[in-house]
Amino acid sequence: MDVKIKRGCVGVDWGQVAAILKEVGMAHHEPELHEKAFRSSHTTVFAYVQDRLVGFGRAISDGAYQAAVYDMAVVPEFQGKGIGRAIMETILRSVAGCNVILYAAPGREGFYQRLGLRRMKTGMAIFVNAEAMAQRGFTE
């Protein structure tokens, strides 16, 4: 399988980004809001198979010493083929030298642990949808 990993937002179908986030059960919004979020990010990575968007991820960062990863997703039929790893490794190379933080969806911690990330003991957050995030297991 020929997977192309691309950096940057050129030619991205933001409707597809929203649809994929919805398909994998992650927070999703109007396409324009995803475009704003990705375009405002330090690093954006998209994976294509035969011109089909099959996964993506992004990092916000000061480009100096701090970074955070968001919106990591791979289309279900393409999961388990190393695409998520390729996206994350591209992001990590792009913010090399930075501390990198993220919060894993419950059950996905092992994916990030295999990439060398370790559990944080003091992570804190204010979520916009606090009740829903608590119910989904993100907060106490």
Ligand X SMILES: CC(C)(COP(=O)(O)OP(=O)(O)OC[C@H]1O[C@@H](n2cnc3c(N)ncnc32)[C@H](O)[C@@H]1OP(=O)(O)O)[C@@H](O)C(=O)NCCC(=O)NCCS
Residues near ligand X, by CB under 6 A: 24, 26, 72-74, 79-85, 104-105, 107-108, 110-111, 114
Minimum separation from the CB atom of position 46 to ligand X (A): 13
Residue 68 neighbours by CB distance under 10 Å: 17
First-to-last alpha carbon distance for the chain, in angstroms, is 41
Tell me whether strands 99-101 and 66-74 are parallel, antiparallel or unpaired: parallel
Spatial CB neighbours of 104, under 8 Å, sequence gap ≥ 6? 111, 112
The residue among 59 and 74 lying less far from ligand X, judged by its C-beta, is: 74
Minimum separation from the CB atom of position 98 to ligand X (A): 18
Is residue 73 a contact partner of residue 55, using CB atoms and an 8 Å limit?
yes
Minimum separation from the CB atom of position 126 to ligand X (A): 18
Minimum separation from the CB atom of position 77 to ligand X (A): 10
Closest residue to ligand X, judged by C-beta, is 84
The residue among 60 and 105 lying less far from ligand X, judged by its C-beta, is: 105
The residue among 17 and 83 lying less far from ligand X, judged by its C-beta, is: 83
Q: Letter for the amino acid at 11?
A: G
How many residues make up the chain in this entry?
140
48 in catalytic set: no
The residue among 8 and 82 lying less far from ligand X, judged by its C-beta, is: 82
Active site amino acids: 112
